[in-house]
Structure formats: C-alpha cells, structure tokens
Structure 1
Amino acid sequence: MSTLADFSITRKWPATRPDLLQLYSLPTPNGVKVSILLEELGMPYEVHKINFDSHDQTSPEFVGTFPNNKIPAIIDPNGPGGQAIALFESGAIMVYLAEKTGMFLPQDPALRYETLQWLMFQMGGIGPMFGQVGFFNIFAGKDFEDKRPLTRYVDESKRLLTVLNKHLAGKEWVAGDTYTIADMAIFPWIRNMIVRYNAEALIGWGQYPEVSRVLSHWLQRPAVQRGLLIP
C-alpha cells in the first residue's frame, strides 16, 4: 500500500501532518485554482511553497514525484482504495477533488459535461493565451522588438473573453445557477490579466461587462479571498 514516504518529494518537503492532503504550490493563477477549491471544500490540507526563484520545481525530489515539474501538485494520503495518490495538472486535481467529495461538479450528466467543457476551455484556451499575454506584455517578452506575438495572443484572448462574455449573459455562474470548478478555474486567470499582467487596456476590459460582473461576485467569496493568498 502506497504511503507518503513512497514519494520522493516528501524527502525535501516532509509532511508535519501526514494524514492530511499535501499541496505543493505558489499563488499563481494555476496554483490558486486548487487552493481555492480546497478552501471552498473546507478540506484540511498542508501546504508547501515551491519557490521558482530557487528552482524547487526542477529538483530531483519534485520531479521524481511530479515529472512535469509544474505546480500545483498534490499527494492525497487517503486516495482510491485507501492508498496515497500523487497528481499534477490543475484540471485533473480539481476533477479528482470534486469527484472525491461530491461537490462543485454536478451529478446531472448534462450539467456535469457542460462544467467539464468550460474547465477545458480554461485549460486549453484561457490559461495558455492569457499567460502569453503576460509574458509579452510585462515579463521578458516585453523587450522583443517584434510585437506580432503580443498582438496574436491579445487578439485570441479578446476572442475568448467575447465567447465567455456572451455565455455569461443572464447567468449567475459559468454553469448557470451552479457554482463549480469551472468558475474556480477561469476567474483566477481573468483576475490575473488585470491585476498582474496590466492588460486592461490591451484587451479592452470594458467590452466584457458580464465577465466583470461575475468576476466581482466571485471575488467576494471568503474561500476565494483565502485561497488567493495560499501559500
């Protein structure tokens, strides 16, 4: 039977509470998706900060457990069959936790797949595109003389926001009246576009009133406010 001690990462980041779910993360848009979900679930967990400045994510201990060397990642000591399970990829982690607890992923098949559809919309579209806007607008890419990459990613980000804005009209949340993991996945990235990437003017933020409305509503949730600061 697998235990925490079977995973190399615990040699560098030992658990003080080995009975709890272990979260390895940083407060990035992808990282807070999982911490917000854990806070919404009220599930006890232990958090370990993975410091990019010291390249923690490429250490042998981290990669030995999570081969994609990305955050967030988890080890659940109480996984399927009572065995510990290690997971990376934020979307997979969110589905796992939602299914384990029976929360934030609807049981109705049609609504369930609609939720998963919008989760994948974030994973395959919003995350990669918004991240590139950040790179080319405020990080190393801002010094590139050729501005075509930034234009390309801004245009696609605007298209994605237009899709989401139209979808949210008349809805409380992405899946209608039901708050789900799709909201927890999408809105950290939208918030980041404004507060971290300084892209309000680039994307024409005023053109997306429905997105802005739901973002404001989402930011008022206490679990969101806590999760945004972890670790």
Structure 2
Amino acid sequence: MENNLLAFAPDIIINAAAYTAVDKAEQDQESANAINHLGAEYLARIAQKLNAVFIHVSTDYVFDGNSAVPYVETDKPNPQSVYGKTKLDGESAIAQHCTKHIILRTAWVFAEHGNNFVKTMLRLALSRPELGVVADQIGGPTYAGDIADAILNIISQLNSQNEDRWGVYHFSGEPYVSWHSFAECIFEEAFNQSLLMTQPILNAITTEQYPTPAKRPAYSMLDCQKIHVAFNIEPSNWRAALNNLTLYK
C-alpha cells in the first residue's frame, strides 16, 4: 500500500478507519492495536514522506469520563478501555511522525448506515413494548454526515499559513444528553414521522444495571470551541439529523 500511496502522492490523507467494537477489543487487543494505533502510525509516516496533510478521526474514549464539565483538547487523556488506549496511542504516533496533522475527536457517532444507537433503538422499538436505557452517561450525539462536512470544511481552509492550526480538535453534537434522553428524542421523532404507532415505555437505568466488558466514560462531553474559533465550524446538529428516520431503516 505504501508504494501505491507514494505513487499517487495525495496532498491530503483522511483516516476514518478504526476498530470500534469497543467490548470485543477487550479480548482482541492485538487487532484493536493494529488498526487504531499501528495503522494510524503507518499512514502518518507516509503522509510525512509526502509532506501531505493527515486528517484522523479519534474519540472521546481517550478520556476517563470523570469530568463534570466538557473536555477541552488540552485536558489530560486517561483511557479506561483497550479501545480508548489504542486510539490514544494512535493520536500520539500521529503527532510524533507527521507534522501536518489534524486529529478530530468525536463521540456517539450515528448514521443511516452501519451499526449505531439510532438504528438499534428503532429496531428494538418495533419488537419491544418496554426498554431500559442508560441514563447516567452524558455526551454529544454526532451525525456522521456532519463529521464529513466538518472535514471538508477544514480542507477548504487549508493553506501554507496553517502551521499554527495543526493539532487536536473536538467535534461532537449539542445539546449534551444522556443515552436515555437521546432515545426519547429518537422515539418522539419516529412517532411523529409515523414510523412507530406507539412509543415504547422507556425506563432509565444505571451503568451498573447494564454491565459491559469495556468501561464507558460517564461524561463524554467535548468542548467544541477550538474548532469554531479556528475553522468557524459549529457543533453537529444531531436533532436535524433525525428529521428523516426512514433513511435509518
């Protein structure tokens, strides 16, 4: 792959690949490290050879979730899972091996395709009259289409004077909500759009009541002020992304 990339000689390399099976990563550490850390480092080294810009998508899981206020880019990471650790190792490798890099940390990503919380909730709502959803984890749901738009926006503003803008940026959705509140919004929209005849009963449960192999950050709120100042990019409008839920079926 290196020879192909060097021959193609792109000006920009975007890495959105990741091992995102958070719980599975606890037992499959080698694969998670190969993709999230070593894969990112490999591409960063190639970008450096080409003097190319390297844009990399990272995660809120680099933090421990113990904060009571939104995390800023300079807050000290402290991942609590293999997934978070391997993503942080990838960030560190990129910063070490590629000068012209932009690392975009995001959270709670959902989209019309692939496995994600919105699609799971819609599927469960059609088969279960009652659901329990975690209410003590807070974050900013982020629409994948908004991440793509943010990256394109950044690229459109890149020029030879960007030396002071390389580094880490946070980009996620607002307002911050719990998984329980997010599910409420999904079901309300699905009902209003006639995708659900009735909304399931939604019970708020704690993280302890829904144990998982990998520890999730209790607070995944990312402060998005830096990216707004640098590139005039607003947080993801996750409510707007729910306007046409037929696309998520």
**What interval of TM-score do these two structures reach, taking the shorter chain for normalisation?**
under 0.3
Could you say which structure has the higher helix fraction? 1
Relative to the length of structure 2, the TM-score reads 0.26
